[in-house]
Amino acid sequence: MENALSYEDYELVFEENFDGEALDRSRWNVELHEPGWVNGELQEYVDSEETVCLKDGKLLIRPVRTVDDRGKFSYRSGRISTQWKYDFIYGIFEARLKVPEGKGYLPAFWLMTTDEDRYGGWPACGEIDIMEIWGDQTKTAYGTLHYGLPHGQSQGRMTLAEGDFAETYHDFSLEWEPEAIRWYVDGRLFYETEYWFSTDADGTAHPYPAPFNHEMYLILNLAVGGNWVGYPDETTDFGHAVYAVEHVRVYQRKQGGRQEL
């Protein structure tokens, strides 16, 4: 199949099927962050069964909205990561998942640099977004690189001809190699780039393929609102919205394969 993802010369090095009674804390962190921490987002990330739990072999991340006696809304959600527990350089990263529908939701599956200071903090340290989907445009998926100073960005998108990412589960994959990064949906390539750069706040230019040449960790989260996706409105359903993940897998080149640091 043309432009199909190939696992030839790869071996499975990390697999999470979310089939326990609770999230495995030896593998995953449940992160805590205040509202507005990044991107003008509304949610507080909390450690609660209400926002992050396992059920029927799936990870479920739910957004929660509450209102106080003055009519002011507040929002909670979930974000998990493998930082300092499982960190990776190069390989195939994939998750099978279904996203929530609703204006202002931004579910994501992505990679963040383990050592953010190596190339001068974000965005110079590098970020790879494997999947982001707007809650009010759930037929379109985005894959994005962030890098450099001034902030550089490379982004691809794909739109389903039939179906919806909020209706059925789909496989989102990324193939990260030293000089090329490729994005796939259901095993089919939709974006590839070999262009990025690394310049830090002091103006120091680091040689290519920096910053995408050192370890990164996995993140799954559901943001509520933000500068890019927009904000919830009266149509946003908080009663049934769920970001559901069936599994996460990481493959790396077998020993002797063509991959160099």
The stretch 150-164 carries a mean pLDDT of: 96
**SS3 state of residue 119:** coil
Q: pLDDT (tens digit, 9 = 90+) per residue, 168-177?
A: 999 999 999 9
Catalytic residue among 44, 94, 132, 246: 132
The stretch 11-15 carries a mean pLDDT of: 98
State the pLDDT at residue 256. 53
Q: Which residues lie across from 88 on neighbouring strands? A: 216
Q: pLDDT (tens digit, 9 = 90+) per residue, 65-99?
A: 999 989 899 999 999 999 999 999 999 999 999 99
State the pLDDT at residue 261. 42
Task: Give phi and psi for 51, each to the nearest 5.
Answer: -110, -30
Higher pLDDT, 202 or 107: 107
Q: What is the amino acid identity at position 39?
A: N
State the pLDDT at residue 2. 61
Asked if pLDDT for residue 260 goes beyond 70, the answer is: no
Q: pLDDT (tens digit, 9 = 90+) per residue, 58-70?
A: 999 999 999 998 9
Catalytic residue among 44, 94, 101, 127: 127
Residue that has been written with the tokens 């370890």 in this structure: 215
Residue that has been written with the tokens 């894959």 in this structure: 143
Specify whether 127 is catalytic. Answer: yes
Q: pLDDT (tens digit, 9 = 90+) per residue, 34-47?
A: 999 999 999 999 99
Asked if pLDDT for residue 258 goes beyond 50, the answer is: no
Higher pLDDT, 133 or 258: 133
Specify whether 21 is catalytic. Answer: no
**pLDDT confidence bin for 257, thresholds 50/70/90:** very low
Asked if pLDDT for residue 1 goes beyond 70, the answer is: no
Q: pLDDT (tens digit, 9 = 90+) per residue, 181-240?
A: 999 999 999 999 999 999 988 888 999 999 999 999 999 999 999 999 999 999 999 999
Q: Which residues lie across from 33 on neighbouring strands? A: 45
State the pLDDT at residue 240. 95
Asked if pLDDT for residue 259 goes beyond 70, the answer is: no
What residues contact residue 98 under an 8 Å CB cut-off, 6+ apart? 165, 166, 167, 168, 169, 170, 242, 243, 244
Q: What is the amino acid identity at position 162?
A: E
Q: pLDDT (tens digit, 9 = 90+) per residue, 140-156?
A: 999 999 999 999 999 99
Q: pLDDT (tens digit, 9 = 90+) per residue, 127-143?
A: 999 999 999 999 999 99
DSSP H or E run through 235:
none
State the pLDDT at residue 243. 98
